[in-house]
Amino acid sequence: MIDLQVKNGNGLNGFSIDDIGDEHLYTGLETPMKRNAFDISDEDKKEKIAFLFSEIMEVLGLDLNDDSLSGTPERVAKMYIDEIFSGLNPKNKPKLALFDNKYQYNQMLVEKNITFYSNCEHHFVPIIGKAHIAYISSGKVIGLSKLNRIVQYYAKRPQVQERLTNQIAKELEEALQTKDVAVIIDAKHLCVSSRGVEDDSTSTITTYYGGAFNDSAKIAELQNYIKNC
């Protein structure tokens, strides 16, 4: 992890604001949140966002009296709070129920190709990708749909892919009471493909291997499942 320090309010460790965004640097495992982030209700947040987004549209020169645009600020506000950034609010965190591993299945369980949509915290443009999750039971198992819900919860916030990978892994380790967890994410960043270098051919892969998955044979087995099965 890169240790970043604020410098003159304009950058970190000598990096400019543009460098931080284009190089996808991030400051820690936790999503940066204000302490009073939830002092106002979701409805009040929507009202404020709608007002501020209408100001942005005005600055851009758009005519908010047009039938097509008049409701856009409210639609954007609702989308931000109820949908694409809903993972910021802890009340939306999925409730995870564990079950005894009565099948005595002690090999890796792999849930692959979990599609997710997130947003780059540097430019607020989409990150579109797939997550692959594996774990080895320590005596408890979790419903398969909950694996998808964990991915979606952490994806639905402004993100950096490295942080997203680690947040999913740490949540699974805590929930499953095991270090034997692996997370692989393969994603396309629209901040790379639609702006900046405008390269639409690349994707970014990040991995987390914990416990038994630090073994090269286990990694190869997992990658084989993801690639061929």
CATH architecture of 98-228: 2-Layer Sandwich (3.30)
3-state secondary structure of 208: strand
| Distance, CA of 106 to CA of 20 (rounded, Å) | 43
Please report, for residues 8, 59, 102, 112, 216, the alpha-carbon distance to residue 119 in angstroms, rounded to integers and kept in the order given. Answer: 27, 23, 39, 21, 32
- Written as tens digits, the pLDDT of the chain (229 aa) is 333 333 344 445 555 656 555 555 656 789 999 999 999 999 999 999 999 999 999 999 999 999 999 999 999 999 999 999 999 999 999 999 899 999 889 999 999 999 999 999 999 999 999 999 999 999 999 999 999 999 999 999 999 999 999 999 999 999 999 999 999 999 999 877 666 566 676 899 999 999 999 999 999 999 999 998 6
Q: Where are the domains of the chain?
A: 1-30, 40-88, 98-228
Q: Is the pTM of this model over 0.75?
A: yes
- Active-site residue set: 120-123, 161, 189, 191
CATH of domain 40-88: 1.10.286.10
- Asked, colleague to colleague, whether 40-88 and 98-228 share their fold, the answer is no
Question: According to the model, what pLDDT value does residue 229 have?
Answer: 62
